[in-house]
Amino acid sequence: MMKLCKKILHQLLLVVLLQAAFPFISTAQRISYSEPEREDSRRTDFEIIGKIGSNVLVFKNNRNENAISVYNSEMKLLDRVKVDYMDDRWINVDFVPYANHVWMIYQFQRRSIVYCMGVKLDANAKRLADPIELDTTRIGWAASNKLYTTIYSDDKQKIMVFKINNRNPKNFLFTTLLFNAEMQLQHKHHMTMAMEERNDYFTDFLLDNEGDMVFGKFVRKNGSDYISNLQLITKKRSEEKFTVRDLNGNSKDERVLDEVKVKIDNTNRRYLFSALYYKQKRGNVEGLYTVIWDKGADSILKETLVAFTEDLRKQAKGPDANLRIAFNDYFISDIIIKRDGGYILTAESMYTTSRGGTFNRWDYLYWNNPWSSPLDYSYWSPYYSPWRSPWNRYGGSAATRYHAENIMVLSFDKDEKLQWSNVIAKELFDDETDALISHTLMNTGGELHFLFNKYERRTLLLNDHSIDAEGKITRHPTLKNLERGVEFMPRLGKQISAGSLIVPCQYRNYLTFAKIEF
């Protein structure tokens, strides 16, 4: 008995020593692939709905055919459900997924009327009830029919559908409809907002857990490439008015901002606004500007400028860049809020080159504005591109090369102090298409996993680098069970549970999907 105990203890000690000596050893990821469906090509529009019940649902559109593919946990196709109750002239569709059902909010046009409808689907993509009419709009021949936008709170207990009428370019009319989780209308409001024609722009529109609408507004004077007069706009759930707050703060530091990202911290009732900044117009990126708005105190909690250090610039710069311009091609990609009010921010270096020259960040910022539309349109819609890259606004061409390089990760505590910073080094480009470059982020709780493609011996393989709570980067072994001929499109992936995500793939000329489990 004593010998057996000693043997067991010796084996346990050996395992501990191996883990200490080889920290990269971990449970291998498991990959399951879906079979190609003959209807789905590289041109298929799709949206990964998520895990509903024990199934995975993916919406697909091929011209006028709409369908939802239902996969089991092994990504075996269970059913392809045609969404034939949508009108032929469908416009847009959004999904609000829950544990055992999903709300599909869709729009279609019939004659001069645009209908916004909602229908509740089960885990097999079957209707649980007849579609319900949420709103309608009569439009003219010259109007855009993309009217409604859907946003929902983090806890999914509040859903808002809204539209903006910009018939008068100096005075936009907002219509908001707030629903509960059962799509029962709580409030419908109409509000106006004064605009300076083409000089006023909006950030993303968000909805907090209390049902308040949140977004930012800023000015680009005379079509310039920098931001001024940043404002916080809120609309409380039961109030038929906008509240405007100035976010310029009292900072005496000279700064010029570019693209502004907004994030809601529901736990601490805060709104976070972040942007890269310069010291002068069309200057080089100097660091990160952040302002935190305290909802309870109705005031700015903290405003900070974090200048990027020389060490960070050395890590972040590309192979051909110098320290001065190290961050000029970086764009903020993700903001992850911590429970204590701190946050982690990631940014990726992305740019294009072509025979006609190179797009710089001012080219992107000047054109990368989905909030403006031709003034002869009666209605305006802030549709979000599913592509996180700035270049997707232009479309591809044979003379264009798309680049996605290093990823910067910054961690801040609840007092806005920088705890640590690090850079995941990578370099990838592709011609004609941007589908295979950039990355996806997988949050497993203790680590953030960054998945991206990388050429190894002329073969494009999916790589996994993780970063822990202390900022330590771990390069994991190449993912197992990588099928020959399957090319991953990681930046279009979606996390569907605490330990798994779905990544779309290209297989020959077909669209397929892979489930990666950690």
The contacts of residue 477 (CB under 8 Å, 6+ apart) are 24, 28
Judged against a pLDDT cut of 70, whether residue 296 lies above it is answered with yes
Question: Is residue 451 situated within a structural domain?
Answer: yes
DSSP line for 491-510: GG-EEEETTEEEEEEEETTE
Confidence of residue 421 (pLDDT cuts 50, 70, 90): very high
Place of tokens 């310039």: 224
The rounded percent of the chain whose pLDDT value lies above 90 is 62
Question: Is residue 507 situated within a structural domain?
Answer: yes
Task: Report pLDDT for 222.
Answer: 56
Place of tokens 């008995």: 1
Judged against a pLDDT cut of 70, whether residue 366 lies above it is answered with no
Question: Is residue 493 situated within a structural domain?
Answer: yes
Question: Is residue 383 situated within a structural domain?
Answer: no
Q: Which residues of 221-242 are buried (b: 16+ CB within 10 A; e: fewer)?
A: eeebbbbeebbbbbbebeeeeb
Question: Is residue 425 situated within a structural domain?
Answer: no
Is residue 16 helix, strand or coil?
Answer: helix
Strands (DSSP E) found in 220-342:
228-235, 243-246, 256-257, 261-265, 270-278, 287-294, 299-307, 330-337
Task: Report pLDDT for 478.
Answer: 78
Q: Mean pLDDT over all residues of the chain?
A: 84
User: How far is 506 from 46, CA to CA, in rounded Å?
Assistant: 13
Task: Report pLDDT for 43.
Answer: 87
CB 145 within 8 A of CB 114: yes
Task: Report pLDDT for 22.
Answer: 33
Burial of 3 (0-12, 13-18, 19+ CB in 10 A): exposed
Enumerate the H helices of 242-318 as residue ranges.
310-316
The model's pLDDT over 325-362, given as tens digits with 9 standing for 90+, comes to: 899 999 999 999 999 999 999 999 998 888 655 555 54
Confidence of residue 320 (pLDDT cuts 50, 70, 90): low
The model's pLDDT over 369-417, given as tens digits with 9 standing for 90+, comes to: 333 322 223 333 333 333 333 334 334 455 788 999 999 999 999 999 9
Question: Is residue 516 situated within a structural domain?
Answer: yes
Question: Is residue 494 situated within a structural domain?
Answer: yes
DSSP line for 93-132: EEEEE-SS-EEEEEEEEETTEEEEEEEEE-TTS-BSS--E
Which residues face 172 on adjacent strands?
193
Question: Is residue 290 situated within a structural domain?
Answer: no
The model's pLDDT over 256-281, given as tens digits with 9 standing for 90+, comes to: 887 899 999 999 999 999 999 988 87
Please tell me which residue, 57 or 30, carries the higher pLDDT value.
57
CB 22 within 8 A of CB 14: no
Q: What residues make up the domain containing 496?
A: 435-518
Domains contained in the chain, number: 1
Please tell me which residue, 33 or 398, carries the higher pLDDT value.
33
Cα diameter, the chain: 89
Task: Report pLDDT for 363.
Answer: 55
Which residues face 159 on adjacent strands?
152, 179
Judged against a pLDDT cut of 50, whether residue 145 lies above it is answered with yes
The model's pLDDT over 195-244, given as tens digits with 9 standing for 90+, comes to: 876 678 899 999 999 999 999 998 876 555 567 788 999 999 999 999 99
Q: Dig out the tokens for 67 from the structure.
A: 């369908």
State how far the alpha carbon of 248 is from the alpha carbons of 73, 219, 265, 288, 341, in Å: 49, 12, 20, 15, 22
Burial of 443 (0-12, 13-18, 19+ CB in 10 A): middle
The model's pLDDT over 93-131, given as tens digits with 9 standing for 90+, comes to: 999 999 999 999 999 888 889 999 999 999 999 999 999
Enumerate the H helices of 436-485 as residue ranges.
none
Judged against a pLDDT cut of 90, whether residue 27 lies above it is answered with no
The model's pLDDT over 501-518, given as tens digits with 9 standing for 90+, comes to: 999 999 988 999 999 998
